[in-house]
Structure 1
Amino acid sequence: MKRSGLRRFLLRTLFVATAGLLACAGAGTASAQPTSLIAKVVVIGVPGLTWHDVQASPELTALVNQSHVGSITVKSAGPNTCPVDGWLTISAGTRAWGSVLGQPCAQLPAVTDGKIADWQTYVDRQAQHHTGAPLGRLGQAGYPMCGFGPGAAVALARTDGTVNNWWPQFDQQRLASNQCRDAIIDAGAMPPREGREEARRKVAELVAQARAADGWVLLVGVAQELANAHQEPLVAMQLPPDDGPRWLTSDSTRRPGLIQLTDVTATILRGREAPTVDPAGAETAGPLDGTPIGFDGDRHTDAAAVIEDRLDTNQRFEQPRPMLVAVSMTILVAELLALAWFWFTRSPRARRTFNFTLLTQGGFFIAVFLSTATVWWRWPAPGFSLYCVVLGISALFAVLTQVFLKSYAFLGIALAAYAILLVDGVLGTPLQFGSMFTDGPVIGGRFYGFGNSTFATLAVAALVVAGWAAQKLIDKSRVQAALAVLAIGGAAIVVDGRPGWGTDFGGIIALTPAVLLMAWLTWRGSITFRALIGVGVAGVLAVTAVAFLDYLRPADERSHFGTFFARLLDGDVSDVLIRKLQMALAFFNGPAGWAMLVGVVLAMLATVLPGRVPFPAYRSFYTSLPMIRPTLLALSTCGLVGMLLNDAGVALPAIMTGFAAPLLVAHLITAEQPSTVSPESHLVQESKSVD
């Protein structure tokens, strides 16, 4: 390859790889149920109540050893969870949107003549933002519940905005009366600064008064106190503890010590059937997003240790997103500097350095998971510790593969990613949870299973490993090679899609046709239009079968698959599909999304039309081995289907490109050795040696 051609190839490939790296920067177990759950449930909601408040308050600290404890994520449908968003979410049992985008949190609506002021405005807002939240579900439940405070009025309002058994101030005698089967108390938002200490004492006093009425008291943060408040999981306590103080959990999170806001509604309803329509015929029912709160894990009896654990956990959930940006930018800058050095000098040392930075980017897609095993959030300066750990593991993989595997470095990284993610999926994704590749509870993303970034990594790793394995067998038997593709790709599909493991509905939709296409091309060498249609139909049937089987399970045990299938049967998927489409299109609100799209299109065209790529080294590589074409076409198929049918949109194939492209360029850089022999002939010889 001519020097100018190689330079253009490196720049363009680095561009699409960078798009993937930037996309990364932008982009269970059943719980035990308390036997006392049949008793009165009193929910005390405190917007903005943090574990720092518990640490600073002797009264709240004293409650820790008397409670099942945990953290609660208060993500609602909108970008901020103001108090009205939190209370409306409890009303609907699904994430609702109450505040006005771009404005500070407003005061909670007044109650006039037994009706919430401007209630219809909140109902219309759900339709405007396609939340599908049935406001008034809890108030329509049809059994005695009492409310105290303005937030409780919002939570207990019926579908028409009217509210019964509600009082503007807390009344202990009314709470203890028979007319209050369950109760919701709005303790008021925590003041941002002045008066916070007094507010903490009032919360502790309110808990004591509620306990005197007997029952099951649930103290939870229900929202952030301000629209721009620091985002973190808030406090959740349930007292008195059943069978000793343990960690709160729910089947919606499948994580000890973590519940979500919609679990509060499910706990109050706890299996009771709410009417599907109100007397006027307005629809109120649909699947609950949450599940009843329970407890799990070992007993805890040390309040100080529990509080420290909760504060450490907050660090675990807050630091990954900003550190993802920092690590991505560090690797990108290093790649650009190394490329410039190699561009101008073409020295062996510059070549090795540039190759090292490319492999570091590949290693980054492993380090984001392995970093979780280091428990970095308990180290000094957790954010900086995470930054160093991820960079260190990324560089370590680059060094080891570059030194020991040389031209097979790409395979070493892909194989490591494949094996690690398979094991992580089977174990319930402990490495992904809280890593850079999951939104976590602060953002309200996945609490279990594989997210989009994790799936993109697994898909690339699985297809590359499958392609290499098939290449080793194809000369002996095309049938055996195709079976190897099905075995390796099938294992990834099973782990990615199985409920309780990867639980990734969108992922298997994209990966299944890619694996089937790759297996067919391995077996037959080419594919007809009829066979292509058959591959697509087979993929759809496989995904539908998984969703149907999950749907047959009890409603409170279903994963995303069964829940979506139930919505489909009920004709209740339009809002879900519109929201996912909006999420996919949101990437094009700025230049970064369009840049990712350009990079992805260029990468896909290079796999479909290799003869049009103006780089002899790539064209020689493409035709040097039988399995290169099927592997690259499978990668493009997976990325294209994922982009069209996944809420991640263009980010999914961009992340795949960000993982695959640097491995490809590193392989080509290693193969093109400076000598008197032409680069093209040397590359062909090196490519053939892989087999």
Structure 2
Amino acid sequence: MKALDRLRRVRPPSAPDGPRAARWVPHLMVVLIAVAALAGLTIRPVSDTNPGSADYVILAGAAGLRWDDLDPQRTPTLWQEATKGSIGWLSVRSAMRVTCPSDGWLTLGAGNYAAWPRHTTGRVCEPVQPALTRPDDIGANLTEQRSVVQNNQDRLPYGAVPGALAESVRCTYAFGPGAAMAAARPFGRVDKYQPEFPADSDGLLSDCNLSIVDLGSVTGSGEQRRRKAQAADATLARVLAARPPRSLLIVAGVSDTERSNRLHVAIAEGEGWNGGRLTSAGTGRDGYLQLIDLAPTVLTALGKPLPERLFAGRSVTVVEDRPADVADAMLGVHNADHRSTAQTAVAEIFFTVLAGLQILLFLLAVPVMVRARRHAGPRGPALPPPRIVAALELALIAASLAIPAALVADATPWWRNAHPAWVFGTVTALFIAIGTALIRFAPRYPRTLWPLGAASGIAAMVVGLDLLTGAQLQLNGVAGYSAVYGARYAGVGGVGLGVFVAGLLVLAGSLSQWIVKRWRPVVVVFLGGIGVVMVGSPYLGADPVGAVALTAGVCVAAAISTGGWLTFPRFAWAAVAGLGVTIGFALLDVRRPAPEQSILGRVLTELLNGTAGPAMSRTAAANGQALLDSPLTLLAVAGVLMLAFCQFSPWGGLNRLFGLHPALRAAGAGVTVTTLIAGMLNGSALSVAGAAAATAVPIAVLTALRVLLHAADRTRPEGETDGPGGPLLREDPALTTRQPG
């Protein structure tokens, strides 16, 4: 009887402490936090302006030219221009997965993602051999241009118009076949043309305000590649000798030459372009620009207006603070091309191995959870041995920390080793062990929710600190994104977003369990509001679509954090709050000038003017490709199946877990809503959900297992010792309101 009286006197965690709080205070806090999040999202960085104007622009391109091709002795002209001018890493993404020389030159002239028809397949790209006719001694005709334009308009989802750059200037002068492809107008006419840059070129570069020079292709390896780089350098020396005053020289490695993605050379040298790193609003990352950025840069430098809705790139600008030595800036430990190449190979291995190990871990957890279930009869299977339970818990914690540990491992120069995959795996395993030990040996480890909250907090903290320091761990990182693919260059990537959302919302759910019900939505909205600002701010996450998705998830989580289901009134209030933040941010973004809009503003602008069809087609195609190609899809499916088994199987324990901890059910709903919306709208399908599942599902299984092991526990008089199952429910206030299930 004494034990029963003690149990009745235990106050559930939802009971208010101290003076009764005013009912309107939590609601006011939620509104204020939502307004603060909206205000944080509306702040945009001041856009840079073009550093200088010019009377002439000379665009010299060399297919395949990379920074490790440059050398002060072998290529003195290129090295000198790089030392004098502004430099950057050029991503040569086109309408094709791999940009061959014809695709690169065509994309350059279109200012948008374009593609040249391919007739062969193989490891090496086709050489640039367009069909040219010369009806006079002045210009030339690109005979295939009309069909190429039609193909890009009708069959490709980018709406590119090859020749849009040439149509925007008075006349163009092309030297070489690749230059002719970039300088041809949409109907195929090249204003002035010569098959190669002549030795006697006095006055030629001042005939037109835009001259495009084909420096040749840099292909192969070893001595062959060095000779071709020297040939390109010699041609550039002749260009410099004929360069008119007040001219801007742009040197670009316009494409790949093999069926692999690489980063290439970008140099801009002229008045106002001396020193610094090249960047653009399209990349948002200092030192990085895209091939599609060169066309608007040419027109901006010449003082010409940009054609409406034709260019996909942004004008290039210059940021200061770069090492004076080119080698220090672009080679060695700062060689982004080498790092991105290693990242591409290692990322596929890492996520494939992670998916396999987590699936195996879930299969091993099933018999342990079956034995952990308490049966109603007098006899039943014995409980799993404590050592097995302890080992399984450690394995589940380690699995949840795998992606955060991989992010931290990207801070090390693993990619410079001869065996980068092994080095990266070893470093990641070390950080996983450190994180697991921090959780395991903490004094609060026996608490039911401690592993869940601690692992979630570590995941959110790793991504959050990375965003606060410029997302350096995600750029060209295994658990981040690669610049060579041209999808993202700054801010939070799909994997980072999934980890951050799962960590933040699950942490909010864990913390909410320790306060009264009335204040739980405040905790969820407070942490969620911080997350929305970090994800959507152009200074941090730079992902407004992710911020909109997180807003929806936070609203759903806050609505059901006090318990119960998502009833219609709750759904209505959550929808109104989410739409209010989303619409407010979107309207402010749409009213900005086009160059300053985020991706959300550009999409809404396209919807309003009826040109959103290509963008929607691209997103659908990207979703389909990511769904089939990414190992994260397998992680998402495995996580959903494991949670379904835990939810609907009598041995699962997830119903009991959610009954005891309704805020965790709310967190799970918020994570699901956020990751699905963000993945589909960003064109990454289940990648965001897969990263979230890899982080949250293992520790959810661990917590469900603990609840099963404590299912038959009862409170006890003070002084009794703990049994083999661990601390009893009296030590965990959140478990004193146990419900059947």
TM-score range, shorter chain: 0.7 to 0.9
Pairing 1:473-492 to 2, within 5 Å after superposition? 473-475=515-517, 478=518, 480-492=519-531
TM-score by length of 2: 0.79
- C-alpha offsets along residues 329-378 of structure 1, whole Å, 9 cap, x if unaligned? 55556557777887699544443333223222211231233234335456
Tell me the equivalent position of 1:585: 624
- Larger helix proportion, structure 1 or 2? 1
Distance 1:670 1:316, change over 3 A: farther
Distance 1:310 1:36, change over 3 A: farther
Question: Contact between 2:173 and 2:210, CA under 8 Å: does it hold in 1?
Answer: yes
Tell me the equivalent position of 1:8: none
Q: How many angstroms apart in 2 are the aligned matches of 1:332 and 1:596?
A: 5
Question: Contact between 1:640 and 1:653, CA under 8 Å: does it hold in 2?
Answer: yes
Pairing 1:262-341 to 2, within 5 Å after superposition? 262-270=292-300, 272-274=303-305, 285-286=308-309, 288-309=311-332, 312-331=335-354
Deviation at 1:74, TM superposition (A): 0.7
Pairing 1:174-193 to 2, within 5 Å after superposition? 176-193=204-221
Tell me the equivalent position of 1:388: 426
Tell me the equivalent position of 1:19: none
Q: Report which stretch shifted further, 307-316 or 206-215.
A: 307-316
Pairing 1:143-154 to 2, within 5 Å after superposition? 143-154=170-181
1:651 paired residue among 680, 687, 691: 687
Q: Does 1:465 align with 2:504?
A: no
Deviation at 1:424, TM superposition (A): 3.2
Q: Does 1:110 align with 2:136?
A: no
- C-alpha offsets along residues 99-136 of structure 1, whole Å, 9 cap, x if unaligned? 43972433442222433222233223323131222222
- C-alpha offsets along residues 210-238 of structure 1, whole Å, 9 cap, x if unaligned? 22213222111000113x24x32111222
Question: Contact between 1:671 and 1:687, CA under 8 Å: does it hold in 2?
Answer: no
- C-alpha offsets along residues 226-279 of structure 1, whole Å, 9 cap, x if unaligned? 3x24x3211122235857533222232233322211121121111755575xxx
Q: How many angstroms apart in 1 are the aligned matches of 2:147 and 2:728?
A: 67
Q: Does 1:85 align with 2:103?
A: yes
Tell me the equivalent position of 1:48: 64
Q: Which amino acid aligns with 1:367?
A: A
Q: How many angstroms apart in 2 are the aligned matches of 1:643 and 1:502?
A: 15
Question: Contact between 1:137 and 1:274, CA under 8 Å: does it hold in 2?
Answer: no
2:614 paired residue among 561, 565, 575: 575
Deviation at 1:163, TM superposition (A): 2.2
Q: How many angstroms apart in 2 are the aligned matches of 1:673 and 1:97?
A: 60
Q: Which amino acid aligns with 2:114?
A: A
Q: Which runs of 5+ in 1 are unaligned?
A: 1-27, 277-284
- C-alpha offsets along residues 36-73 of structure 1, whole Å, 9 cap, x if unaligned? 43242211110111122114834344544333222211
Pairing 1:406-425 to 2, within 5 Å after superposition? 406=445, 407=448, 408-425=450-467
Q: Report which stretch shifted further, 71-80 or 50-59.
A: 50-59
Deviation at 1:449, TM superposition (A): 1.9
Q: How many angstroms apart in 2 are the aligned matches of 1:337 and 1:649?
A: 24
Q: Which amino acid aligns with 2:656?
A: S
Deviation at 1:287, TM superposition (A): 5.8
Tell me the equivalent position of 2:718: none
Distance 1:361 1:117, change over 3 A: farther
Tell me the equivalent position of 2:406: 368
Q: Does 1:220 align with 2:252?
A: yes
Tell me the equivalent position of 2:15: none
Q: How many angstroms apart in 2 are the aligned matches of 1:158 and 1:496?
A: 41
Q: How many angstroms apart in 1 are the aligned matches of 2:477 and 2:631?
A: 23
Q: How many angstroms apart in 1 are the aligned matches of 2:352 and 2:685?
A: 22
Q: Which amino acid aligns with 1:97?
A: A
Distance 1:450 1:598, change over 3 A: closer
Distance 1:315 1:367, change over 3 A: farther
Deviation at 1:207, TM superposition (A): 1.9
Q: Does 1:400 align with 2:438?
A: yes
Report the secondary structure of 1:184's partner residue. Answer: strand
TM-score by length of 1: 0.84
Question: Contact between 2:276 and 2:320, CA under 8 Å: does it hold in 1?
Answer: yes
Q: How many angstroms apart in 1 are the aligned matches of 2:217 and 2:687?
A: 37
Question: Contact between 1:150 and 1:186, CA under 8 Å: does it hold in 2?
Answer: yes
Q: Which amino acid aligns with 1:57?
A: R
Q: Which amino acid aligns with 1:153?
A: A
Q: How many angstroms apart in 1 are the aligned matches of 2:672 and 2:330?
A: 48
Question: Contact between 1:429 and 1:501, CA under 8 Å: does it hold in 2?
Answer: yes
Report the secondary structure of 2:654's partner residue. Answer: helix
Deviation at 1:151, TM superposition (A): 1.5
Report the secondary structure of 1:473's partner residue. Answer: coil
- C-alpha offsets along residues 304-329 of structure 1, whole Å, 9 cap, x if unaligned? 43453476322332222322333345
Deviation at 1:686, TM superposition (A): 8.6
Report the secondary structure of 2:161's partner residue. Answer: coil
Q: Which runs of 5+ in 2 are unaligned?
A: 1-43, 369-382, 715-722, 736-741
Distance 1:591 1:686, change over 3 A: farther
Report the secondary structure of 1:580's partner residue. Answer: helix
- C-alpha offsets along residues 638-663 of structure 1, whole Å, 9 cap, x if unaligned? 34434554411233322222211111
Distance 1:509 1:108, change over 3 A: farther
Distance 1:58 1:169, change over 3 A: closer
Tell me the equivalent position of 2:162: 135
Q: Which amino acid aligns with 1:292?
A: S
- C-alpha offsets along residues 12-41 of structure 1, whole Å, 9 cap, x if unaligned? xxxxxxxxxxxxxxxx97786675432422
Identity %: 23
Tell me the equivalent position of 1:518: 557
Question: Contact between 2:47 and 2:596, CA under 8 Å: does it hold in 1?
Answer: no
Task: Specify the structure having the higher radius of gyration (Cα).
Answer: 2
Distance 1:217 1:159, change over 3 A: same
Q: Report which stretch shifted further, 165-174 or 361-370.
A: 165-174
Q: Which amino acid aligns with 2:207?
A: Q
Deviation at 1:481, TM superposition (A): 1.5
Distance 1:456 1:593, change over 3 A: closer
Report the secondary structure of 1:180's partner residue. Answer: coil
Distance 1:339 1:600, change over 3 A: closer
Report the secondary structure of 2:595's partner residue. Answer: helix
Tell me the equivalent position of 1:197: 226
Q: Which amino acid aligns with 1:224?
A: D
2:677 paired residue among 631, 641, 645: 641
Distance 1:182 1:286, change over 3 A: same
Q: Report which stretch shifted further, 89-98 or 167-176.
A: 167-176
Report the secondary structure of 2:216's partner residue. Answer: coil
Q: Report which stretch shifted further, 556-565 or 447-456.
A: 556-565
Distance 1:594 1:523, change over 3 A: closer
Distance 1:109 1:66, change over 3 A: same
Q: How many angstroms apart in 2 are the aligned matches of 1:359 and 1:102?
A: 50
Q: Which amino acid aligns with 1:500?
A: Y
Q: Does 1:685 align with 2:714?
A: no
Distance 1:30 1:385, change over 3 A: farther
Q: Which amino acid aligns with 2:235?
A: L
Deviation at 1:398, TM superposition (A): 1.6
Q: How many angstroms apart in 2 are the aligned matches of 1:145 and 1:35?
A: 23
Report the secondary structure of 1:46's partner residue. Answer: strand
Question: Contact between 1:339 and 1:354, CA under 8 Å: does it hold in 2?
Answer: no
Q: How many angstroms apart in 2 are the aligned matches of 1:44 and 1:30?
A: 31
Q: How many angstroms apart in 2 are the aligned matches of 1:517 and 1:687?
A: 31
2:151 paired residue among 125, 143, 148: 125
Q: How many angstroms apart in 2 are the aligned matches of 1:140 and 1:617?
A: 67
Q: Report which stretch shifted further, 117-126 or 180-189.
A: 117-126
Q: How many angstroms apart in 2 are the aligned matches of 1:666 and 1:605?
A: 15
- C-alpha offsets along residues 522-545 of structure 1, whole Å, 9 cap, x if unaligned? 357444335424533542342232
Kindly report the root-mean-square deviation, in angstroms, between the aligned alpha carbons of the 2 structures.
Answer: 3.5
Q: Report which stretch shifted further, 637-646 or 590-599.
A: 590-599
1:446 paired residue among 488, 496, 502: 488
Q: Does 1:246 align with 2:273?
A: no
Question: Contact between 1:512 and 1:539, CA under 8 Å: does it hold in 2?
Answer: yes
Pairing 1:249-260 to 2, within 5 Å after superposition? 249-260=279-290
